[in-house]
Structure 1
Amino acid sequence: MNIYAAITERILKQLEAGVIPWRKTWNIGLPKSLSTGKEYRGLNVLVLSSTAFSCRYWLTFNEAIRLGGHVRKGERATPVIYWKWRKPEELERRRQQTGKENPAPCVPFAFAVFNLDQIEGVERPVEDISANHNRRLELADQLMGLVVDKPTITHELRGNPAYNPRTDAITLPHLSQFESAEEYYAALFHELTHATGHPKRLNRFATTEGNSTDRYSQEELVAEFGAAFLCGFTGVSNAQTDALQASYIDGWKKALRADQRLLLRAASAAQIAADYLRGKVWSEDTQKAA
């Protein structure tokens, strides 16, 4: 089984159990590499955050040893992906070997990491995610202030959160109509992720392949993952249940079974969208796993 199939199967098992792994309290924030201090990205965020550990920090078996600790006996590793960018001469060699004009610019490698909860003898860092609920909401509000070229956002007493690409406008119920402020921000982050696909932003709608059903499934996953990444960044919960949750799960299971690379494409697009909304600049460096 290849790495994409293995990760897809991991997510599918949770969906089969009625669990949406990217909908969480996010009270520990996005997963981080203990050795580099960098946040994991894209598909790796989905994999690592789908576990039930209480710590956001991860490290390899050898890193634990170098830090004077060890993995507890019987603990199981979690797979993540590292992307190695091909050098120009490697790309040229691939062109000649395959006849493809544009071979894949990078190659995925799988490796194993352990959560700090699984390690003995390594000191736990001071958490850098605020435990203060109001501070998390302030951070979410500050993030909104950082978003450049926002779509029009209006609030109405009726209806569900929605983004209209024709008018480039988001419509939301008033904050007071949500169960909590966190639920409001989670919905807003979802619709903002949709809005990054507009031609004047990332133009994602024009580049998504497949028929209309495939495009819809992928775009919904992009918005789900993008909202999760932003909730993880701010520490805002998106764990709220949805009246249509069961039907969403059925749709995602069907789409993921049909395409084992769907998770990768959707998570990659969601990460680019989250970076855009956070004001981060895309680079080869940011595309690699931490």
Structure 2
Amino acid sequence: MEKILENRKKFVDEVIESLEKEKGLVWLKKWGTLGPPFNPTTNKEYNGNNNLMLSFRGMQKEYEDTRWLTYKQAQNNKWQVKKGEKATSIEFFELYDKKTKKQFDPKSISSLSNKEQIDYKNQNVYSCAKTYSVFNGEQIDNIPAFEKPKIEVNYNKIDKIIENSNVPFFYDSENAFYSSNKDEIHMPHQKFFKSENAFYGTALHELSHSTGHELRMNRNIHNKFGSESYAKEELRAEFSSFFIAQSKGITYTNEDKENTKAYLQSWIKALKNDPNEFFKAGKEANKIANKVLSYENEKQPSMKDLIKTKEQIEEKGR
């Protein structure tokens, strides 16, 4: 774990430096047009914090390739990491079994009762963090040329997400914000944004905030502007909107986002006070993004319905 904390501190120091130099989050530049980072040998996308770390490194190095793989994976395919290239560290958490001293296999306790399975996991299974070193496709010789994905933004699908959220949107404000007391999102009209993508990126950011309502994901969202707790929630919404935008092909720049000095300073302060806050935010943002993306295919209950359901549950519990 010590190595992971050391790698995290080093990475967050670079993020803070980019916030101070770039006046915004460096990975916003164009990564959405390339799609999420993925492993070409498994064809699986990197999620959560690994997505953020690889996207950051990709934009920092101005890579046009979103493929990342280990040295061994490259060798197995007769590709060769270029001399002098430095790897990027990512993290994976695996479950281990104290009793068998091997990676935990759920099938090994499938014959036990539910209570016995819970007791076994509590007594014997633990999470173990591991780091892996990966290289970008542009750092590797003989790898097939990267074919940039043709990503077309389907704004109808994003409109469907907004519609199905059942969170009221009002285009009547100079600034964009989510009111947790009224469960409403207020924004400037779309014509006042620098681009269509900037408008939708902001809408998804505010929609991410709305998931924090106590009857949805129940986060601490009643925070004073400029406070550290406010900065933490802003990071969660920012990372979430990035994941969603990346998934839907939306791209926008820091200029589009119009990050204010106050926002940036609050983020920097929060990360300097606790470097691990970046990774806490990334983990939570992944859950937030998945929830918002699920709206596309499922109409969400209104706040009135959520309150009614809560009251019914409380009534049954009496």
Q: One fold, TM greater than 0.5? A: yes
Bigger relative contact order, structure 1 or 2 (CA pairs below 8 A, ≥6 apart): 1
Q: Which runs of 5+ in 2 are unaligned?
A: 101-121, 296-318
Name the stretch that deviates more: 46-55 or 104-113: 104-113
Partner residue, 1:219 = 233
C-alpha separation in 2, matches of 1:171 and 1:54: 36
Partner residue, 1:186 = 201
Matched, 1:77 2:87: yes
- The structure-2 alpha-carbon separation of the partners of 1:89 and 1:277, relative to structure 1 and needing over 3 Å to count, comes to farther
Tell me the secondary structure at the aligned position of residue 2 of structure 1.
helix
- The structure-2 alpha-carbon separation of the partners of 1:164 and 1:17, relative to structure 1 and needing over 3 Å to count, comes to same
Partner residue, 1:58 = 68
Show CA shifts across 1:157-214 (max 9, x none).
Answer: x4211111111111111111111101101101110110111122211228x99xx933
Following superposition, the deviation at residue 56 of structure 1 comes to 1.1
Matched, 1:20 2:20: no
C-alpha separation in 1, matches of 2:123 and 2:283: 19
Following superposition of structure 1 onto structure 2, how do residues 80-119 of structure 1 map, counting pairs within 5 Å?
Answer: 80-87=90-97, 106-119=127-140
- The structure-2 alpha-carbon separation of the partners of 1:254 and 1:104, relative to structure 1 and needing over 3 Å to count, comes to farther
Partner residue, 1:142 = 157
Residue 98 of structure 2 contacts residue 124 of structure 2 at CA under 8 Å; is this kept in 1? Answer: no
Matched, 1:2 2:6: yes
- The structure-2 alpha-carbon separation of the partners of 1:240 and 1:47, relative to structure 1 and needing over 3 Å to count, comes to same
C-alpha separation in 2, matches of 1:104 and 1:155: 50
Pick from 34, 44, 50 the counterpart of residue 50 of structure 2: 44
Following superposition, the deviation at residue 243 of structure 1 comes to 4.8
- The structure-2 alpha-carbon separation of the partners of 1:244 and 1:277, relative to structure 1 and needing over 3 Å to count, comes to closer
User: RMSD of aligned C-alpha atoms?
Assistant: 2.7
Partner residue, 1:261 = 276
Tell me the secondary structure at the aligned position of residue 113 of structure 1.
strand
C-alpha separation in 1, matches of 2:238 and 2:99: 38
C-alpha separation in 2, matches of 1:237 and 1:243: 14
Following superposition, the deviation at residue 228 of structure 1 comes to 0.9
2:66 is aligned with what amino acid? R
Show CA shifts across 1:50-99 (max 9, x none).
Answer: 12211111111111111111111111111111111344869xxxxxxxxx
Partner residue, 1:286 = none
Residue 21 of structure 1 contacts residue 46 of structure 1 at CA under 8 Å; is this kept in 2? Answer: no
- The structure-2 alpha-carbon separation of the partners of 1:149 and 1:82, relative to structure 1 and needing over 3 Å to count, comes to same
Residue 31 of structure 1 contacts residue 49 of structure 1 at CA under 8 Å; is this kept in 2? Answer: yes
Residue 178 of structure 2 contacts residue 209 of structure 2 at CA under 8 Å; is this kept in 1? Answer: yes
Name the stretch that deviates more: 237-246 or 19-28: 237-246
Tell me the secondary structure at the aligned position of residue 75 of structure 1.
coil
Matched, 1:275 2:280: no
C-alpha separation in 1, matches of 2:263 and 2:125: 32
Residue 245 of structure 2 contacts residue 251 of structure 2 at CA under 8 Å; is this kept in 1? Answer: yes
C-alpha separation in 2, matches of 1:24 and 1:192: 22
Residue 29 of structure 1 contacts residue 129 of structure 1 at CA under 8 Å; is this kept in 2? Answer: no
C-alpha separation in 2, matches of 1:105 and 1:86: 6
Following superposition, the deviation at residue 107 of structure 1 comes to 2.8
Residue 225 of structure 1 contacts residue 267 of structure 1 at CA under 8 Å; is this kept in 2? Answer: yes
1:29 is aligned with what amino acid? G
Q: Report % sequence identity.
A: 26
C-alpha separation in 2, matches of 1:47 and 1:253: 17
Matched, 1:34 2:40: yes
Following superposition, the deviation at residue 22 of structure 1 comes to 3.5
1:236 is aligned with what amino acid? I
1:185 is aligned with what amino acid? Y
C-alpha separation in 1, matches of 2:79 and 2:171: 52
1:34 is aligned with what amino acid? P
- The structure-2 alpha-carbon separation of the partners of 1:89 and 1:168, relative to structure 1 and needing over 3 Å to count, comes to farther
C-alpha separation in 2, matches of 1:190 and 1:102: 40
C-alpha separation in 1, matches of 2:132 and 2:246: 23
Tell me the secondary structure at the aligned position of residue 83 of structure 1.
strand
Show CA shifts across 1:190-247 (max 9, x none).
Answer: 10110111122211228x99xx933211100001111111111112113142555333
Residue 228 of structure 1 contacts residue 238 of structure 1 at CA under 8 Å; is this kept in 2? Answer: no
